[in-house]
C-alpha cells in the first residue's frame, strides 16, 4: 500500500491556535498550495542532504587512532562534559580552587560515611553528583585535589574560564587527556557543531580544552596533535615523526593518507599543519556552508580536495589568518570605539546591554555600566556568527555576574581582571571582539565566490544599509532597488510581538523553506521595504516596521528592522 504526502509550510514561531486559524482560513484543501514530499535514501523528507557531500573525504576516522584511516584526521573528541559547570568552571582561578577543594573534601567524607554503612549526602551546596562520581563512591574510591589541573578552557565561543580538570570530578573526559595532558601541552583543535542541531553550521579553532556546549548538539573537536604517555613498558626508541616532551610522545592527528593526497596536488612541501589550516579555511567557506547546510546538521563534515595548488594556497592562507585571529583575539589591536563617559569611568561589569533610543535597540552602542557606553560599533561586527550568535552577543550573555541557584556559587567575570591587575579587561575585550568580527567577515568574504561577488556586483543599495543578499537555488543574490510597497505580513507569538513592540527585539528570522523563499527570496526583483506583524493570527492587533535589509544567517532569512512605521 502506497500513499502520497502533500505538504504546506505555514510558517515558523506560531502557537497551536495560530496554526489552526491559518488552516481554518483556507476553507478547504483546494485553496492550499501543496508540495509533494518524497524521502531520499537517507529517509529525509525535508531539508534533504546533498548527494555530492558523500563524495568528499570525511574529517573523522571510522575508528579513532587509526593510522591508516582514509580521512583528514586519525582522532577527534567530543567536547568536555563536567556535569557540574558551576563548580568546575569560574572566571577566577582562586574561586575554582576554593570550590573544588571543599567539594573534593566533602566527597571523601561521603566515601567514609558509605564505608561505615551510612548514606551519602545530596546537599547541593556542598556537592554536585553525577553518575560517574556515584560509581566512584560505590567503589569507595577517594579523590585527590590536584591544583596543577586547574587550566584555561573555552567554555563558550570567545569566552574562556578556569577549569578544574582533576581526577574523578569531570563526568566525561573524552579524549582530552590525550589532547591536553598537561597545562603546558600545546595543541590546537578545530571544533564544529554536533549532529542533530537546528542552527547553521558552525566552526571555531581553540588552543585549549573545549566545553561540550560550546557548539550546538555537542562540540566535535579535531586536533592538530595528540599525546601518548610514556609508560615504563613504552619503547622510547627514536621514531621518525614523533616528538617526545614532558613524559609524552606527540603524534600528528592529520593522517598520512591525506598528506599524500595533498602532496599530489600542491607539491611535496605541503606540511600537515598546512592541511590543518586548509580545513579551517574550507569550513568557513560561505558557499560550502550554504550548499551543504542540511548535511552539516546531520553528519560530521566532509571536504573536497583542492582543485589545484593555487586553490590550496588561497584557502590555506585564509585559514591560517582566521586561525591566528581566533586564537589570539585577546592580543589583537582593539577596534577604536568611542567611549561615552558619565563622570568617572568604572570598569566593573554587572551585565552589559545594547543602548536604546526610546523603544528602539541600538546595536551600534553598548552600555557597559552606568558610567560607560561604547559607541560606533560597525555593522560588520554583527555579521559574523558562531554557534547561532555573534561574538559580541556571547560576551553580553556570558560576561555578567551570576549566582548558581543550587550551589550558591558566584561567578564574577571581573575577578579575572582583578587577579591580573587589569580592571579594564572586559572593555578592551569588547573592542578586540569587534575587530575580530570585522576581520573575520572580510576574510570569509574572500573565500566564497557567491557572497563576495554579489557584494561587488551590487550597483544600488538600500539607503540605510549595505546591500541585502539572500541565498536561492545555490547562489547568493543581491536584492534589486526596492519599489514602493515591497511588503510582507507575518504572524507572531504574543511574546515575540511584545518584544519587538517594546524595542527589545530588532530582527525576525524565518527558516529557508519554499514558503518563505516565495515571500522573501522569490519576489521577482522586489526588495522588501516593510513588514506588518500580526499579534497571533486571530488578533486584529498589528504593527508595521521598516525593513533595513533581508540577510541570510545560516539556514534562516533575517529581517533587520528599522523604525516603526505604523
pLDDT tens per residue across span 334-384: 999 999 999 999 999 999 999 999 989 999 999 999 999 999 999 999 999
The percent of residues above 70 in pLDDT, for the chain, comes to 85
pLDDT score at 80: 98
Taking only the tens place, the pLDDT of each residue in 202-229 is 999 999 999 999 999 999 999 999 999 9
What does the pLDDT read at residue 384? 97
**pLDDT at residue 248 tops 70:** yes
Is the pLDDT confidence value at 63 over 70? Answer: yes
Q: How far is CA 426 from CA 347, 396, 416, in A?
A: 8, 10, 9
Of the candidates 386, 478, 475, the one whose C-alpha atom is nearest the C-alpha of residue 437 is 386
Tell me how far apart the alpha carbons of residues 55 and 195 are, in angstroms, rounded to a whole number: 19
In this predicted structure, the answer to whether residue 465 has a pLDDT above a threshold of 60 is: no
Return the axis-axis angle of helices 272-284 and 256-266, rounded to nearest 10°.
80
Specify the pLDDT at position 457.
33
pLDDT at 499: 83
The reported pLDDT for the residue numbered 42 is 63
What does the domain layout of the chain look like in residue ranges? 5-48, 77-326, 338-445, 456-564
pTM (2 d.p.): 0.76
- Could you report the per-residue pLDDT of 274-299, keeping only the tens digit for each? 999 999 999 999 999 999 999 999 99
Q: For residue 317, is pLDDT > 90?
A: yes
> What 3 state SS string does 312-350 have?
HHHHHHHHHHHHHHHHCCCCCCCCCCEEEECCCCCCCCC
The overall average pLDDT reported for the chain is 87
d(CA 550, CA 566) in angstroms, rounded, equals: 20
In terms of Cβ atoms closer than 10 Å to its own Cβ (0-12, 13-18, 19+), residue 333 is exposed
Q: How far is CA 175 from the centre of its chain?
A: 21
Tens digit of each residue's pLDDT (9 = 90 or more) over 127-170: 999 999 999 999 999 999 999 999 999 999 999 999 999 999 99
How many angstroms separate the CA atoms of 561 and 309, rounded? 44
pLDDT for the residue 27: 76
Rounded Cα gap, residues 521 and 222, in angstroms: 36
Query: At residue 234, does pLDDT exceed 70?
Result: no
pLDDT of residue 462: 30
Burial of 546 (0-12, 13-18, 19+ CB in 10 A): middle
CA 396 to chain centre: 15
C-alpha pair distances (Å), 350 with each of 208, 377, 397: 27, 21, 11
Residue for grid cell 627514536: 238
pLDDT score for 472 = 32
pLDDT of residue 437: 98
Q: Of the given ranges (254-263, 305-314, 407-416, 495-504), which has the lowest mean pLDDT?
A: 495-504
Q: Return the higher-pLDDT residue of 2 and 337.
A: 337
**For 43-62, what is each residue's pLDDT tens digit?**
665 565 678 999 999 999 99
Give pLDDT, residue 11: 72
pLDDT band at 463 (very low <50, low <70, confident <90, very high): very low
Is beta strand 248-252 parallel, antiparallel or unpaired with respect to 243-245?
antiparallel
pLDDT at 254 over 80: yes
The predicted structure's pLDDT at residue 480: 34
For every residue of 386-435, which 3-state class applies, written as one string?
Answer: ECCECHHHHHHHHCCCEECCCCCCEECCHHHHHHCCCCCHHHHHHHHHHH
Average pLDDT over residues 235-242: 50
CATH architecture classification, 456-564: Roll (2.30)
| pLDDT classification of 38: cutoffs 50, 70, 90 | confident
Maximum C-alpha span of the chain: 81
| 378 or 464, greater pLDDT | 378
Amino acid at each position: 500500500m502506497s500513499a502520497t504526502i502533500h505538504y504546506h509550510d505555514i510558517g515558523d514561531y506560531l502557537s497551536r491556535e495560530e496554526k489552526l486559524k491559518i488552516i481554518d482560513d483556507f476553507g478547504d484543501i483546494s485553496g492550499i498550495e501543496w508540495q509533494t514530499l518524497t524521502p531520499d535514501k537517507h529517509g529525509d523528507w525535508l531539508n534533504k542532504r546533498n548527494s555530492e557531500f558523500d563524495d568528499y573525504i570525511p574529517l573523522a576516522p571510522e575508528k579513532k587512532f587509526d593510522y591508516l584511516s582514509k580521512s583528514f584526521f586519525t582522532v577527534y573528541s567530543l567536547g568536555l562534559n563536567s556535569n557540574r559547570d558551576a563548580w568546575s568552571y569560574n572566571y577566577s582561578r582562586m574561586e575554582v580552587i576554593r570550590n573544588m577543594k571543599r567539594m573534593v573534601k566533602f566527597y571523601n567524607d561521603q566515601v567514609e560515611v558509605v564505608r561505615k554503612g551510612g548514606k551519602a549526602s545530596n546537599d547541593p551546596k556542598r556537592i554536585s553528583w553525577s553518575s560517574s562520581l556515584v560509581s566512584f563512591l560505590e567503589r569507595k574510591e577517594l579523590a585527590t585535589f590536584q591544583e596543577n589541573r586547574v587550566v584555561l578552557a573555552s567554555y563558550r565561543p570567545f569566552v574562556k574560564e578556569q577549569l578544574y580538570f582533576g581526577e574523578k570530578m569531570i563526568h566525561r573526559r573524552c579524549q582530552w587527556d590525550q589532547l591536553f595532558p598537561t597545562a603546558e601541552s600545546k595543541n590546537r583543535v578545530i571544533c564544529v557543531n554536533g549532529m542533530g542541531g537546528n542552527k547553521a553550521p558552525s566552526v571555531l579553532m581553540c588552543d585549549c580544552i573545549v566545553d561540550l556546549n560550546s557548539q550546538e548538539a555537542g562540540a566535535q573537536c579535531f586536533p592538530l596533535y595528540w599525546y601518548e604517555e610514556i609508560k615504563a613498558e613504552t619503547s622510547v626508541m627514536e621514531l621518525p615523526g614523533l616528538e617526545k616532551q614532558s613524559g609524552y610522545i606527540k603524534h600528528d592527528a592529520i593522517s598520512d593518507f591525506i598528506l599524500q593526497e595533498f602532496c599530489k596536488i600542491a607539491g611535496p612541501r605541503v606540511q600537515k599543519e598546512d592541511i590543518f589550516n586548509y580545513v579551517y579555511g574550507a569550513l568557513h567557506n560561505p558557499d560550502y556552508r550554504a550548499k551543504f547546510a542540511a548535511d552539516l546538521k546531520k553528519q560530521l563534515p566532509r571536504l573536497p580536495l583542492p582543485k589545484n595548488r593555487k586553490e590550496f594556497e588561497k584557502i590555506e592562507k585564509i585559514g591560517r589568518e582566521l586561525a591566528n585571529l581566533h586564537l589570539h583575539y585577546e592580543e589583537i589591536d582593539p577596534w577604536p570605539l568611542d567611549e561615552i563617559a558619565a563622570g568617572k569611568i568604572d570598569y566593573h561589569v554587572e551585565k552589559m546591554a545594547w543602548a536604546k533610543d526610546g523603544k528602539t535597540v541600538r546595536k551600534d552602542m553598548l552600555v557597559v555600566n552606568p558610567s560607560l557606553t561604547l559607541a560606533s560599533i560597525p555593522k560588520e561586527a554583527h555579521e559574523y556568527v558562531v554557534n547561532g550568535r555573534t561574538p559580541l552577543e556571547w560576551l553580553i550573555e556570558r560576561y555578567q555576574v551570576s549566582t548558581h541557584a543550587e550551589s550558591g556559587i558566584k561567578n564574577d567575570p571581573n575577578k579575572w581582571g582583578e587577579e591580573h591587575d587589569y580592571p579594564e579587561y572586559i572593555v578592551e575585550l569588547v573592542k578586540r571582539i569587534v575587530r575580530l568580527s570585522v576581520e573575520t567577515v572580510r576574510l570569509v568574504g574572500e573565500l566564497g565566490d557567491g557572497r563576495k561577488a554579489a557584494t561587488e556586483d551590487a550597483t544600488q543599495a538600500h539607503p540605510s544599509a549595505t546591500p541585502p543578499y539572500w541565498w536561492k537555488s545555490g547562489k547568493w543574490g543581491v536584492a534589486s532597488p526596492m519599489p514602493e510597497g515591497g511588503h510582507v505580513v507575518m504572524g507572531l507569538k504574543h511574546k515575540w510581538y511584545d518584544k519587538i513592540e517594546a524595542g527589545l527585539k530588532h530582527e525576525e528570522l524565518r527558516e529557508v523553506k519554499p514558503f518563505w523563499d516565495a515571500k522573501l527570496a522569490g519576489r521577482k526583483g522586489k526588495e522588501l521595504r516593510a513588514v506588518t506583524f500580526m499579534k497571533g493570527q486571530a488578533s486584529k492587533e498589528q504593527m508595521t516596521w521598516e525593513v533595513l535589509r533581508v540577510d541570510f544567517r545560516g539556514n534562516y532569512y533575517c529581517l533587520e528592522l528599522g523604525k516603526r512605521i505604523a
